């Protein structure tokens, strides 16, 4: 019985990894060629570190023998692939449970000075290795999952960055989660997540 559960957990992890990579490749591959636009990209990566992720994306040892998770692998792959985007790129990363527990830049508060809403990738790209521990998912929390709080955080940060740059650009949110929000299926409650997503859509922010 234990082997069946272990195999099921591995299968769920592999599916999660595949979905993450497909989302990342979609964002990069749909970027317009250099001559098509000079509009900036505002990209926020929202990563679920709630208790359920300990089961669905458990730690494993990579080829170097270091403990990691598929979410960690995906985050760092994504940040490397940002080099392929043809225009100015501003990036934020948040980790969330039933609230945003840590984030870059500026920590968990959604409201910060507009100049500090997102990081300019071209200036900090070489420093992301230093920040690996800051955005690491190896130590997931035991809290619940409130997807709408992560989406609202991303929404405010992207709008603040747009205000600071005086350019609407392309807003993108990548949500790394097992898709198991608190209160899902409860009458009227799961609509909260849908409402948050609709607000992003109304501001021309895509969610992957």
pLDDT tens sequence across 33-53: 544 557 899 999 999 988 888
Is residue 170 packed enough to be buried (19+ CB in 10 Å), middle (13-18) or exposed (0-12)?
buried
pLDDT tens sequence across 56-106: 888 888 888 888 888 888 877 777 777 677 678 899 999 999 899 988 888
Q: Please compute the mean of the pLDDT values over residues 15-43 and round it to a whole number.
A: 61
pLDDT tens sequence across 95-151: 999 899 988 888 888 888 899 899 887 665 555 566 666 777 766 666 788 899 999
166 has a pLDDT exceeding 60: yes
pTM above 0.85, yes or no: no
Q: Which residues of 29-66 are buried (b: 16+ CB within 10 A; e: fewer)?
A: eebeeeeeeeebbbbbbbbbbbebbbebbeeeeeeeee
Q: Please compute the mean of the pLDDT values over residues 2-27 and round it to a whole number.
A: 51
Is residue 20 packed enough to be buried (19+ CB in 10 Å), middle (13-18) or exposed (0-12)?
buried
Q: Which residues of 123-146 are buried (b: 16+ CB within 10 A; e: fewer)?
A: eebeebeeeeeebbbeebbebebb
């Amino acid at each position: 019985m234990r082997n069946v559960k272990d195999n099921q957990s591995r299968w769920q992890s592999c599916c999660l990894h595949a979905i993450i990579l497909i989302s990342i490749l979609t964002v990069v591959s749909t970027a317009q060629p250099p001559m098509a636009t000079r509009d900036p990209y505002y990209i926020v990566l929202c990563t679920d570190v709630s208790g359920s992720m300990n089961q669905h994306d458990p730690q494993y040892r990579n080829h170097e023998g270091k403990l990691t998770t598929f979410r960690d692998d995906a985050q760092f792959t994504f940040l490397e692939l940002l080099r392929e985007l043809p225009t100015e790129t501003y990036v934020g990363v948040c980790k969330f449970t039933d609230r945003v527990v840590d984030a870059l830049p500026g920590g968990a508060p959604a409201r910060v000075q507009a100049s500090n809403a997102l990081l300019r990738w071209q200036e900090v790209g070489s420093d992301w290795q230093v920040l690996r521990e800051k955005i690491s998912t190896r130590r997931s929390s035991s809290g619940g999952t409130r997807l709408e709080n992560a989406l609202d955080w991303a929404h405010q940060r992207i709008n603040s960055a747009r205000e600071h740059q005086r350019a609407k650009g392309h807003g993108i949110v990548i949500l790394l989660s097992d898709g198991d929000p608190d209160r899902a299926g409860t009458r009227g409650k799961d609509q909260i997540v849908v409402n948050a997503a609709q607000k992003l859509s109304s501001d021309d922010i895509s969610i992957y």
